[in-house]
């Protein structure tokens, strides 16, 4: 097959029996020597055909044989190239799509994607929503958010420059002016936390922060049903800002921890009162 999938060089077909054949050729059918003592271990799982196709296509992408933006060969070409049936090819493409490595659109051939932290986390959105539907799931996400954002505040206090502090101060001022307007307050609340997350200049931090904002959107709206939550949150934001401005990592982390703890407590107070 003359394409990026091998450039005309035939690859061996996928054969899940190969490990057994190699083992018999190497060791023979019967043990002729004393066996060494070995610790118990889980049996080696024989890979399914589509999993082998995934591994080979993934290797071709990593090695640059297939580059971001390239169209993959047609299903028929892939079937001939790997020596497997259509179901194995389709399962492999679906798996690669879920991994964020290819883009699959109706009526079009799959294309190698440009992976980003956001696309990686977008694949977790469905599972996150399912977990958040249960009380223990919400608590676990609140704990994870606290751990993450406390570390972000600590890092921001170490790294913040003059421009960062100016942007953070502007976000704080907007948050203060939004008190009393729940919709606007939620927007400015997100903007303040985003300004903190931006300071380390790490795209993975930003993508993770944006995902958590989306997953925990219900917490903001519910907690604001308790009077005074917006003013309390804004006061906490000021303490976080002052600690970052003073380049005090411990104080910044503590201020963030206290803030998120208060918001979580108010969320559960409202939820319990409404049930």
Residue 81 sits in which domain range? Answer: 1-15+48-115
pTM: 0.66
Q: How many domains does the chain have?
A: 2
Q: Which of 98, 115, 132 is the last residue of a domain?
A: 115
Residues 159 and 81 in one domain: no
Residue 215 falls inside a structural domain: yes
Residue 201 falls inside a structural domain: yes
Residues 105 and 239 in one domain: no
Residues 155 and 261 in one domain: yes
Residue 20 falls inside a structural domain: no
Residue 193 falls inside a structural domain: yes
Residues 4 and 100 in one domain: yes
Q: Which of 56, 82, 115 is the last residue of a domain?
A: 115
Q: What does the H/E/C string look like for the chain?
A: CCCCCCCCCCCCCCCCCHHHHHHHHHHCCCCCCCCCCCCCCCCCCCCCHHHHHHHHHHHHHHCCCCCCCCECCCHHHHHHHHCCCHHHHHHHHHHHHHCCCEECCCCCCCEECCCCHHHHHHCCHHHHHHHHCCHHHHHHHHHHHHHHHHHHHHHHHHHCCHHHHHHHHHHHHHHHHCCCCHHHHHHHHHHHHHHHHHCCCCHHHHHHHHHHHHHCHHHHHHHCCCCCHHHHHHHHHHHHHHHHHCCCHHHHHHHHHHHHHHHHHHHHHHHHHHC
CATH number, domain containing residue 68? 1.10.10.10
Residues 11 and 82 in one domain: yes
Per-residue pLDDT of the chain (275 residues; tens, 9 = 90+): 444 555 444 555 565 544 444 444 444 554 455 555 666 666 666 788 899 999 999 999 989 899 988 999 999 999 999 999 999 999 999 989 888 888 887 778 899 987 776 766 666 666 667 777 787 888 998 999 999 999 999 999 999 999 999 999 999 999 999 999 999 999 999 999 999 999 999 999 998 898 888 888 888 999 999 999 999 999 999 999 999 999 999 999 999 999 999 999 999 999 999 87
């Amino acid at each position: 097959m003359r394409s990026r999938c091998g450039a005309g060089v035939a690859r061996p077909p996928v054969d899940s029996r190969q490990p057994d054949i190699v083992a018999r050729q190497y060791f023979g059918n019967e043990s002729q020597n004393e066996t060494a003592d070995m610790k118990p271990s889980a049996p080696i799982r024989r890979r399914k055909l589509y999993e082998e196709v995934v591994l080979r296509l993934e290797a071709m992408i990593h090695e640059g044989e297939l580059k971001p933006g390239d169209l993959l060969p047609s299903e028929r070409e892939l079937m001939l190239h790997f020596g497997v049936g259509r179901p194995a090819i389709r399962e492999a493409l679906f798996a690669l799509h879920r991994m964020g490595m290819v883009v699959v659109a109706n009526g079009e051939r799959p294309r190698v994607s440009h992976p980003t932290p956001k696309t990686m986390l977008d694949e977790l959105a469905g599972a996150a929503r399912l977990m958040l539907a249960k009380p223990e799931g919400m608590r676990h996400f609140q704990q994870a958010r606290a751990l993450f954002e406390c570390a972000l505040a600590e890092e921001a206090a170490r790294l913040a420059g003059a421009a960062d502090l100016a942007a953070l101060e502007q976000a704080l001022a907007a948050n203060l002016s939004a008190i009393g307007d729940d919709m606007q307050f939620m927007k400015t609340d997100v903007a303040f936390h985003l300004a903190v997350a931006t300071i380390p200049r790490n795209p993975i931090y930003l993508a993770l922060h944006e995902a958590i904002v989306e997953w925990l959107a219900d917490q903001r709206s519910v907690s604001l049903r308790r009077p005074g939550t917006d003013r309390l949150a804004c006061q906490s934001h000021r303490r976080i800002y002052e600690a970052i401005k003073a380049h005090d990592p411990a104080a910044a982390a503590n201020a963030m921890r206290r803030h998120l703890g208060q918001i979580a407590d108010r969320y559960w107070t409202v939820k319990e009162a409404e049930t």
